[in-house]
């Protein structure tokens, strides 16, 4: 494990100390956790974008996709914990 130093303003350093204390963590553990969360979020976003690009390429290649209104209905129902049938694949090339 390597050591990295961070230069923080006094204001940020105090906010880190206060937030860490509230969570029962040391400032070091708080900062490590924050960095881990930022890295995970960045990786998740990159995967999401790659998946979207691949889905777009598949849609162009196959001519298949989903009706936006059906997708919106499905997402809304799921957000309300309601059961809903998944949108069906349609051919959008005629």
Domain count, the chain: 2
Residue of 84 and 27 predicted with greater confidence: 27
Instruction: Give the pLDDT of residue 5.
Output: 93
Instruction: Give the pLDDT of residue 70.
Output: 95
**41 and 84 belong to one structural domain:** no
The answer as to whether 53 is a domain residue is: yes
The answer as to whether 85 is a domain residue is: yes
The answer as to whether 68 is a domain residue is: yes
- Provide the domain limits for residue 78: 63-94
The answer as to whether 4 is a domain residue is: no
Look up the pTM and report it.
Answer: 0.73
pLDDT tens digit sequence for 37-52: 999 999 999 999 999 9
Residue 2 is encoded by which pair of tokens? 């390597």
**21 and 50 belong to one structural domain:** yes
**48 and 72 belong to one structural domain:** no
pLDDT tens digit sequence for 32-87: 999 999 999 999 999 999 999 999 999 999 999 999 999 999 999 999 988 889 99
């Amino acid at each position: 494990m390597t050591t990295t130093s961070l230069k923080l303003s006094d204001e940020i350093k105090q906010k880190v100390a206060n937030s860490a204390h509230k969570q029962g963590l040391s400032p070091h553990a708080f900062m490590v956790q924050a960095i881990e969360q930022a890295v995970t979020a960045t990786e998740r976003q990159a995967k999401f974008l790659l998946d979207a690009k691949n889905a777009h390429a598949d849609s162009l290649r196959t001519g298949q996709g989903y009706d936006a209104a059906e997708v919106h209905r499905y997402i809304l129902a799921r957000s309300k914990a309601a059961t809903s049938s998944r949108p069906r694949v349609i051919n959008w090339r005629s």
